[in-house]
A and B are shown apart, each in its own frame.
Chain A
Amino acid sequence: MKTRLATMAVAAVMAAGPVMADLVFPSLSYRTGPYAAGGIPFADGYADYFTLLNERDGGIGGVPVRVPECETGYNTEKGVECYESTKGEGSLVYQPLSTGITYQLIPKVTADGIPLHTMGYGRTSAANGEVFSHVFNYPANYWNGASVGINHLLDINDGDLSGKSVALVYHNSAYGKEPIRTLEELSEKHGYELSLLPVDHPGQEQKSQWLQIRRNQPDYVIMYGWGVMNQVAIQEAANIRFPMENFIGIWWSGAEHDVTPAGDAADGYKAITFHNVGSDFPIFEDIQEHVVDKGLAAGAGDQIGKVLYNRGLYAAMLAAEAAKTAQEMHDTADITPAMMRDGMEALEVTEELMTELGMPNFGPSFSVSCENHGGPGLGGITQWDASAGEWSLITDFMESDKEVIQPLIKADSEAYAEEAGVEMRCN
């Protein structure tokens, strides 16, 4: 008996083989719960890009990538559990895709020395790298989004919004409240009238808000919604025959599943974005060849090329490039979270790099610095074509109003620094 156990043990050791150190990019995803429709494509895109790197290039810099997934259900308590259970594995960067979880993780990751990348969500003032050492929100944040939306309205109104009225329909949470201050400042500057219409979680009931819109007849509606709230809002807008081309959603309110329930009535609905849409990029051929055809696609594999899938892909690409930068900076393939942070801070994304990766014009070219963790804050406008069933980018990536946003970021981050006792960096 003893000898048999020993042989089994030896066989087991040989089967297991040497433990490979790999680069860990945990995915705090949500494939269940009220926001799953948005969480699934993002998680799929994030996982597929790393699978592609493993299959095609053998990982990043020769080191294989591992993407342990942890289900948060958009719930902060589960998010904490996920963070604590994965942080010990050498996790390089966290991307929780939830503003609530982000607020919780900001102090924790800073204390633990792990970078946090909240691309287009989270705490906007984290763009100030002088205060937030481990938090990044490049290439764009909520306030850029609000400003890009207003800039687009300026464009179609020949630069004059005075006397116009804009209504903000927002998710009544930290996320939805983010743009209010920016939109108020911008309304003073451009002379439009702003009205605020909060929608409570999860947002299935919006009759009263849209009744108010029907009564007050605002010229434009901007929406900061997520999950089922988007579909309901677009359906309600269609019901009151609000002109869709005057209805602009933030990037979290502009995916296929948000507009399809309203059918043809959603035609012309616009959304702000910070990356390109569609599957007309060379990288998708690689994904087909190395990921899908090998049966390695994450999830059900039916999300490829959707807006939020592309966002997950883009997030993974930026993370992988930051890891490469870190590998070059520290001259080692096996990087630590601290090195990853340096890599993110030194990240430079150029058009040549994106073309080389098979993603030409997929996002704006930008560079991150110690002071600026928020990137350039460029955004474009996409529009939904219901008959073709696809989103298309109708503008270039344009500047947001830095004059208004920068002082707000500075004020909010300095207030945080004072409250949390953070010392300024980058001097």
Chain B
Amino acid sequence: MFYREAGDFKTSYVDDGQTFPIKFDRYRYYFVLFVAFAIVPLLVNDYWVNAIFLPFLIYSIAAIGLNILVGYCGQVSLGTGGFMAVGAYACYKFMTGMDIWIGGVQYALPPINIFFSVILAGFVTAFVGLLFGLPSLRIKGFYLAVATLAAQFFLVWLFNKWSWAYNYSASGQINAPEREIFGVAITGPSTEAWATYLFCLVFATLTALVARNLTRGSVGRKWMAIRDMDIAAEIIGVNPLRAKLSAFAVSSFYVGIAGALFFAVYLGAVEVGEAFGIQKSFIVLFMVIIGGLGSIFGSFAGAAFLVLLPVLLKLMLADQAQSISPVANVFGWLFLALFAISAIMFLVSAVRSRSIISTSALYWLGASIATFIIYALTIGGMGWPTDIVAHLQFVIVGALIIIFLVAEPHGLAQLWRVSKEKLRLWPFPH
């Protein structure tokens, strides 16, 4: 009814080729941007920014980067953690003043503004990514994955060994000193929540815009041609060297920016083995796969899923409210009763239909999970032992990944696409 093409007339090619051709979609997009830029900064506090928004935005940028390489160009990479480390260390060197020794004489750049440090860090990472992308011209699939895995281990080793990269500090840690933009602190200890949030949001928005338009244009089409069948692509005139290397460079640029923000704005101090180990590569790959290969929205969705889920589980299960307001108490009982009803209904329908995955049982299962979440959040957490919750987190996140990949191999982005298709016909599907 609202979500439709009909009646939205395009009078120019520019209009016709825009990212969101449906009016409702376009306004929703403007609304999201408005909320993110104008409303959220007024409401956030340290906890929301440092525990939720910063990791979400930064991982989104990394996931977009990896999505360009894996999802659009079809080149598997396990080196994301290493490339993030390049971004982080490059940003550190630029923001503290890069020193270079040529023939025993030291030349030092002045410290560069943090915004440009992050961008330059992206370019350095793009160059490194280009180098490690060279093997992709000869090898594919698993073999390329192993080559990029080598990049991961080599880069972590390098930043542990090469004391120039961490300014010869005794511990090998890098610490982000305080840096400002327009007099507002962006890095360092005395930052305001809204400032760091907006800084990362600007990067996330810009990178997402550029990525979206790259992938819609000729560059992206070349990548996709290579992904779908590289020999056919070569025959129709796509240069595989330029297509593959440009994908590696652009992808690494994004990942480098994510690494720089991760170090400078989010954590403030990192140690390469701990922060940029192999698990980082995997988690970003999970984000891309769960979110949906070859989708910018999927990158955001995947990052949100893997960042928010552990925090949500922790708030639900491990936390314990000191005092519960009477209103919350009443609602808590209400939701507990609803949870009990849906759990019983789930059992009843499962027994009746002799199957757990029958439609009605699944509905009741969903209802009981939803009511339990609401119940736990209303009463301020269940207060279970932290180690049990931590183990449960692994179980739940792992199970959800498996369920997701079985039920919807194309990820959250595909769910989004399907629901949009349904919306288009709503409320007259026939």
Interface residues of A (CB under 8 A from B): 5, 8-10, 12-13, 16, 19, 29, 31-33, 36, 40, 66, 68-71, 73, 75-78, 80-81, 84-85, 87-88, 99-100, 103-104, 106-108, 110-111, 123, 172-175, 177-178, 180-181, 198, 200-201, 299, 412, 419-421
The 8 Å CB contact of B47, one of A8, A19, A33, A85, is A85
Chain B residues lying within 8 Å of A100, measured Cβ to Cβ, are: 173, 271, 274-275
Find out whether the CB atom of A420 lies under 8 angstroms from the CB atom of B171. Answer: no
Closest to B330 in A: A8
Chain A residues lying within 8 Å of B188, measured Cβ to Cβ, are: 107, 420
CB A354 to nearest CB in B, in angstroms, measures 30
B306-328: contact bitstring with A at CB < 8 Å (1 yes, 0 no)? 00001100100011101110110
In the complex, A80→B53 CA distance in Å?
13
CB A211 to nearest CB in B, in angstroms, measures 19
B8 CB within 8 Å of chain A: no
In the complex, A299→B268 CA distance in Å?
32
The 8 Å CB contact of B267, one of A31, A40, A77, is A77
Q: How large is the interface on B (under 10, 10 to 19, 20 to 34, 35 or more residues)?
A: 35 or more
Find out whether the CB atom of A84 lies under 8 angstroms from the CB atom of B46. Answer: yes
CB A242 to nearest CB in B, in angstroms, measures 26
* The 4 nearest A-B residue pairs measured at CB: A107-B189, A31-B387, A174-B171, A111-B189
Find out whether the CB atom of A29 lies under 8 angstroms from the CB atom of B277. Answer: no
- 9 A-B contacts, Cβ less than 8 Å apart? A16-B323, A16-B326, A31-B390, A80-B51, A80-B266, A103-B269, A180-B170, A299-B387, A419-B177
Chain A residues lying within 8 Å of B310, measured Cβ to Cβ, are: 78
Find out whether the CB atom of A201 lies under 8 angstroms from the CB atom of B189. Answer: no
Chain A residues lying within 8 Å of B319, measured Cβ to Cβ, are: 85
Find out whether the CB atom of B330 lies under 8 angstroms from the CB atom of A178. Answer: no
CB B14 to nearest CB in A, in angstroms, measures 42
CB A250 to nearest CB in B, in angstroms, measures 15
Find out whether the CB atom of A178 lies under 8 angstroms from the CB atom of B177. Answer: no
Find out whether the CB atom of B267 lies under 8 angstroms from the CB atom of A76. Answer: yes
Closest to B193 in A: A84
Find out whether the CB atom of B386 lies under 8 angstroms from the CB atom of A31. Answer: yes
Chain B residues lying within 8 Å of A69, measured Cβ to Cβ, are: 386
The 8 Å CB contact of B387, one of A9, A32, A87, A88, is A32
Task: Evaluate whether A201 and B273 lie within 8 angstroms (CB atoms) in the complex, with A9-B326, A177-B171 already known.
Answer: yes
In the complex, A104→B188 CA distance in Å?
10
CB A88 to nearest CB in B, in angstroms, measures 7
CB B44 to nearest CB in A, in angstroms, measures 12
Closest to A89 in B: B322
In the complex, A69→B266 CA distance in Å?
23
Known: A81-B314, A174-B172; 10 extra A-B contacts, CB below 8 A, are A12-B326, A29-B386, A32-B390, A36-B387, A80-B267, A99-B171, A104-B268, A174-B173, A198-B160, A420-B178
Find out whether the CB atom of A174 lies under 8 angstroms from the CB atom of B271. Answer: yes
Closest to B48 in A: A84
Chain B residues lying within 8 Å of A299, measured Cβ to Cβ, are: 387
Find out whether the CB atom of A178 lies under 8 angstroms from the CB atom of B170. Answer: yes
Main secondary structure on A side of the interface with B: helix
Find out whether the CB atom of A421 lies under 8 angstroms from the CB atom of B267. Answer: no
In the complex, A68→B172 CA distance in Å?
32
Chain A residues lying within 8 Å of B386, measured Cβ to Cβ, are: 29, 31, 69-71
Find out whether the CB atom of A107 lies under 8 angstroms from the CB atom of B268. Answer: yes
Find out whether the CB atom of A177 lies under 8 angstroms from the CB atom of B172. Answer: yes
Find out whether the CB atom of A71 lies under 8 angstroms from the CB atom of B318. Answer: yes
Find out whether the CB atom of B267 lies under 8 angstroms from the CB atom of A104. Answer: yes
Chain B residues lying within 8 Å of A111, measured Cβ to Cβ, are: 189-190
CB A145 to nearest CB in B, in angstroms, measures 15
B302 CB within 8 Å of chain A: no
Find out whether the CB atom of B47 lies under 8 angstroms from the CB atom of A173. Answer: no
In the complex, A299→B55 CA distance in Å?
31
Chain B residues lying within 8 Å of A16, measured Cβ to Cβ, are: 323-324, 326, 329
Task: Evaluate whether A103 and B178 lie within 8 angstroms (CB atoms) in the complex, with A81-B311, A108-B189 already known.
Answer: no
Closest to A27 in B: B386
B273-295: contact bitstring with A at CB < 8 Å (1 yes, 0 no)? 11101000000000000000000
Task: Evaluate whether A107 and B175 lie within 8 angstroms (CB atoms) in the complex, with A5-B330, A88-B47, A172-B273 already known.
Answer: yes
**Which of A16, A66, A198 has the most chain B CB atoms inside 10 A of its CB?**
A16
The 8 Å CB contact of A103, one of B51, B96, B271, B330, is B271
In the complex, A106→B171 CA distance in Å?
14
Chain B residues lying within 8 Å of A12, measured Cβ to Cβ, are: 324, 326, 329-330
Task: Evaluate whether A172 and B175 lie within 8 angstroms (CB atoms) in the complex, with A5-B330, A71-B390, A73-B390 already known.
Answer: no
Chain A residues lying within 8 Å of B173, measured Cβ to Cβ, are: 100, 103, 174
In the complex, A164→B269 CA distance in Å?
38
CB A202 to nearest CB in B, in angstroms, measures 10
Find out whether the CB atom of A103 lies under 8 angstroms from the CB atom of B273. Answer: no
Find out whether the CB atom of A178 lies under 8 angstroms from the CB atom of B268. Answer: no
Closest to A33 in B: B390
B336 CB within 8 Å of chain A: no
Find out whether the CB atom of A80 lies under 8 angstroms from the CB atom of B387. Answer: no
In the complex, A412→B333 CA distance in Å?
57
B36-57: contact bitstring with A at CB < 8 Å (1 yes, 0 no)? 0000000000110011000100
Chain B residues lying within 8 Å of A110, measured Cβ to Cβ, are: 189
CB B183 to nearest CB in A, in angstroms, measures 15
Find out whether the CB atom of B47 lies under 8 angstroms from the CB atom of A419. Answer: no
B150 CB within 8 Å of chain A: no
In the complex, A33→B157 CA distance in Å?
22
B391 CB within 8 Å of chain A: yes
**Which of B157, B178, B311, B386 has the most chain A CB atoms inside 10 A of its CB?**
B386
Closest to A416 in B: B175
B270 CB within 8 Å of chain A: yes
CB A76 to nearest CB in B, in angstroms, measures 6
In the complex, A71→B391 CA distance in Å?
11
